[in-house]
Structure formats: C-alpha cells, structure tokens
Structure 1
Amino acid sequence: MDKPCPVPGSLLQGSWSKAEPRFMNHRVPSNRRYQPTEYEHAANCATHAFWILPSILGSSILYILSDDQWETISAWIYGFGLSSLFIVSTIFHTISWKKRHLRTMEHCLHMFDRMVIYFFIAASYAPWLNLRELGPWASHMRWIIWIMASIGTVYVFFFHERYKLVELVCYVIMGFFPALVILSMPNRDGLPELVAGGLSYCLGMVFFKSDGRIPFAHAIWHLFVAIGAGIHYYAIWRYLYRPGALETKTSR
C-alpha cells in the first residue's frame, strides 16, 4: 500500500491561513491575548485615530473658554486625558498591527494603553469635581479619584493580562463610584448627559470582552468609547464652559 506523501509545513500553514475567517479569529483562552485579523487591526486603529484631532481641538476650545485658574487647570487635565486616550490607543494598535516583531514595545504599549484608561476616567471627572460645589464628604473625591487611578496603574504594571475580570471590575468601580458625588451637588445640570455617556461605556464593555465571538468587537468597543466621551465632552462644554453657563456654576 502506498504511503501518504508528507505535506510540507509551509503548505499546511498556507492552507490554514486561507481557511481563517477574514473578519474574526478564533477565541483564545483567558490567559492569552486575542490576535485580531488584518481587517480588525485596521478597524482598531481607525476607530480611535479619527478622534485624535477632534479631541485636541475640543480641549483647546475649553482652554480658550476658561475664565479663571481652576477652569484652566481642569481644561488642561481633561484635555490631556481625553487626547491621550485616543493617541496612545492608536499608537498601540498600529504597532501591534504593523510591527509585530517588536514584541517588547508592543507589550509596553499595551500596558500603557490600559493605564491611560484609569487616568482618562479621573480626567473626565476633574471638571465636575473642580468646578461644581460638592457636599462635605464628596469634596474628598477630588483627590481620591487620582489615588484610584494610581492604584490601577500599579495593578496593570504588576498583573497585566493575568486577571482580566479583575481589571474590568476595577474600571467599572472607578467609573461609577465617583459618580455618587453628583448626589451631593446642589446643581445637577448635566446629569442626563453624564448618565447617557456612562451607559455608552457600559454597553461598550459587552464588546470589550467579546473578541473571537463578535467580529470587530474591539473596534465596536472603541466606537462606544468615542460616543461616551463625546457626550461627556458636550456636557462639560455646555454646563461648565459655554459662554452664558456661568449661572450654572457655584462658588468653589
């Protein structure tokens, strides 16, 4: 009986790559990182790169509209956090896509990308905590939020990608816990927008953990982040910085 002819490894690899779906790869175990397809890589880059210039422009507008030192400081903090989120994410996904041999750089950028999320959350709260009157206990949140961001950064440094569910829970806690201070604000203008933006982030988390289950899941998560950030920016501009919004502010 004839023996089967051995198939070269390169041919097997080529056949396997052709069999792979274009828009989604197989799901990986929790201790490994999902490898996007070429199309998913491109979508991951585009869905955050598009918002870099608008975030910088929007931050500049808040700076121009600032009337005092606290408004200027808050505009800088918020603008830096907002712009950094999109810039770092775009750089990481671009390196991950086009420079796959730079594994050390990719790993560091991935850690940095996750760390920036903590500071973005803190920066998003900064204008509200700095420019609105808070209750006695809630005023401590102005510095507690930055301690939480620092703890999250340390956690990523030591336990990056080890306990993904814990990391997700940390993001959720930091995202919602400071929102409780809104209950102590005499002026609650902007509350519907803050809730709408928060809901956008929450809906996006469904896709954040759906790589390998839903095509372009991470890119869809990026879009929900952009929508949430846009809603929150609008609220900050309208109720804290827009000319004529002085009536909505109270002494700090």
Structure 2
Amino acid sequence: QGPSLPTLTLLLRALDFRFMNHRVPSNCRYQPTEYEHAANCATHAFWIIPSILGSSILHVLSDNQWETISAWIYGFGLTGLFLVSTIFHTISWKKRHLREHCFALPQPRNCYYYQGLNGLSYSPRLNLRELGPWASHMRWLIWIMATVGTVYVFFFHERYKLVELVCYIIMGFFPAVVILSMPNTDGLLELMAGGVFYCLGTVFFKSDGRIPFAHAIWHLFVAIGAGIHYYAIWRYLYRPDALEGKASR
C-alpha cells in the first residue's frame, strides 16, 4: 500500500517549509527561505546586462539633445532598478547581520516608485512628444509623486503595507490616464499593457507565505512590465522608421 493521507500531508508540509516560510504579521518583514533568497536575486540579476544594452541602443539612436538626455535618464533608472534590487536581496541573503543596516541603502521598492510605473517609464514620452493640457504638468508631477512615495517607504516601510500597495497602483496608472490628452497616443496600448503586468504582480507581492517564491514571481512581472515599456519607448520614440516627424526636427 502507498503512504497514508497523514503521511502525504506531512510530506507536503515539509516541502512547503523547505521552499516557503510561514506568513508574518502585517507589520513584520517576511523571512524568505534559502531557495527564495536565491530566486529573488536571480530574477532581477538576469536583466542587468540586457538593460545596459537596451539603454545603449536608445543612446545610439538619439539624434538630438532631448533624446540623449531622456535615454540617459531612462537607462540609468532601468539599470538601477535591477542592479539595486539584486544588491539588496544579495545582502539580505548572504549578509544577514547587515539586514537591519540595509535601510541605509536605496531599497528596491524605492526604485519601483521611480522606475516601475512612474517617473522614468513616462519621462521619455513626456519629454519627446507634444503635450496636451494635462500632460504638460505631468513632467514635474510624476517626480513629486515618486519622491513622496520614496520618503513614505523609507520612514514607514512594512508598517502600512496596504497603503503602500494602493499608492503604488495609483501612481502607476495616473500618468497613463493623463497621456490620453496628448495629440499622439502611439504606444499607449503598450504602456497600459506594461502597467497591467506591474499591477498583476502585486498579487504575488502580497502572497509571501502563501505562494512559494511569490516575491520572485513578482520580480518577473516587474521585468515583463519594464520590457513592454522599453519596447514602446524604442518603437515609438527612437526607432528611425517609426517617427514620421523625426527627420523634420
């Protein structure tokens, strides 16, 4: 006869404990398992080199000052997102005695306020396209929103997770709605699609202790969203044969 039901239950629980720890109270930090730590590092480290290459392509394709500046800002943020996230998760994994001092470093979630669905993802479009009446204010408003979000996370990290999550989503979709007022909406579908992936990823962001490797899965959604946004920027703002008015500028 095969193993009894209680034996199977114990086996499944043992596997869960190996790949996933128990959930923690809302005001405490979840402690990943060794496997989850490794996955958290790998799922963003993999994208560091592609982000550098992608940023370099935008720089090469730039043919005026604003395009060059936008390429540098966006490329710095895109690469910094994956680099800082990888460093932070590596320290959390390998240097656990430094875990409490990690707040002295730029935290990954702070970078998401700048890169994910906020400042850097929208800056190239706001800098290089003709702006509508609402979008003209969004050039500086997205940076105010990103700064406020970063300050909030720095002082209240892990204390009000639901508030942090709601702000993350609002700050992601608000600039996309404003872009609807712009005369040229090419690429809006890709921007919205990237935003959907970011927001779907928050389901896993809130599932530590319920779904194994939940945080790493969230990382993958962030990477997919960033990739879609990069494609929209490359295709509609930098690719030479995609810009009808580029030759006339």
TM-score, normalised to structure 2, is 0.89
User: Does 1:139 pair with 2:136?
Assistant: yes
**1:142-153 equivalence runs, <5 A:** 142-153=139-150
User: CA deviation digits over 1:51-88, x for unaligned, max 9?
Assistant: 00000110111011111111111111111111111001
Aligned residue among 113, 116, 137 for 2:111:
116
Greater mean deviation of Cα atoms: 96-105 or 48-57: 96-105
Is this contact kept in 1: 2:16–2:212, CA < 8 A?
A: no
Aligned residue among 36, 39, 45 for 2:35:
39
Structure 2: distance between partners of 1:44 and 1:151 = 26
Task: Classify 1:176/1:101 alpha carbon distance in 2 versus 1 (closer, same or farther; 3 Å).
Answer: same
Alignment RMSD (CA, Å): 1.9
Is this contact kept in 1: 2:20–2:213, CA < 8 A?
A: yes
Letter in 1 for 2:57: I
The number of residue pairs the alignment matches comes to 234
**1:50-65 equivalence runs, <5 A:** 50-65=46-61
Letter in 1 for 2:53: L
SS of the equivalent of 2:138 reads: helix
Is this contact kept in 2: 1:31–1:161, CA < 8 A?
A: yes
Letter in 2 for 1:28: V
- Per the TM alignment, residue 138 of structure 1 is displaced from its structure 2 partner at its CA by 1.9
Aligned residue among 74, 84, 87 for 1:88:
84
Aligned residue among 74, 77, 102 for 2:73:
77
Structure 1: distance between partners of 2:29 and 2:21 = 12
User: CA deviation digits over 1:184-206, x for unaligned, max 9?
Assistant: 12111112211211111111110
Hey, what does 1:194 align to over in structure 2? Answer: 191
- Per the TM alignment, residue 20 of structure 1 is displaced from its structure 2 partner at its CA by 6.9
Query: Radius of gyration: which is bigger?
Result: 1
User: Does 1:203 pair with 2:200?
Assistant: yes
SS of the equivalent of 1:247 reads: coil
Is this contact kept in 2: 1:187–1:248, CA < 8 A?
A: no
Task: Classify 1:249/1:33 alpha carbon distance in 2 versus 1 (closer, same or farther; 3 Å).
Answer: farther
User: Does 1:179 pair with 2:176?
Assistant: yes
Letter in 2 for 1:223: L
Aligned residue among 158, 161, 182 for 1:161:
158
Structure 2: distance between partners of 1:250 and 1:211 = 50
Task: Classify 1:191/1:126 alpha carbon distance in 2 versus 1 (closer, same or farther; 3 Å).
Answer: same
User: Does 1:228 pair with 2:217?
Assistant: no
- Per the TM alignment, residue 107 of structure 1 is displaced from its structure 2 partner at its CA by 3.3
- Per the TM alignment, residue 183 of structure 1 is displaced from its structure 2 partner at its CA by 1.2
Is this contact kept in 1: 2:191–2:228, CA < 8 A?
A: yes
Structure 2: distance between partners of 1:250 and 1:21 = 60
Hey, what does 2:64 align to over in structure 1? Answer: 68
Structure 2: distance between partners of 1:75 and 1:102 = 35
Could you tell me which runs of 5 or more consecutive residues in structure 1 were left unpaired when the two chains were aligned.
1-17
Greater mean deviation of Cα atoms: 115-124 or 204-213: 115-124
Is this contact kept in 2: 1:24–1:215, CA < 8 A?
A: yes
Could you tell me which runs of 5 or more consecutive residues in structure 2 were left unpaired when the two chains were aligned.
1-13
- Per the TM alignment, residue 153 of structure 1 is displaced from its structure 2 partner at its CA by 1.7
SS of the equivalent of 2:123 reads: helix
Hey, what does 1:104 align to over in structure 2? Answer: 100
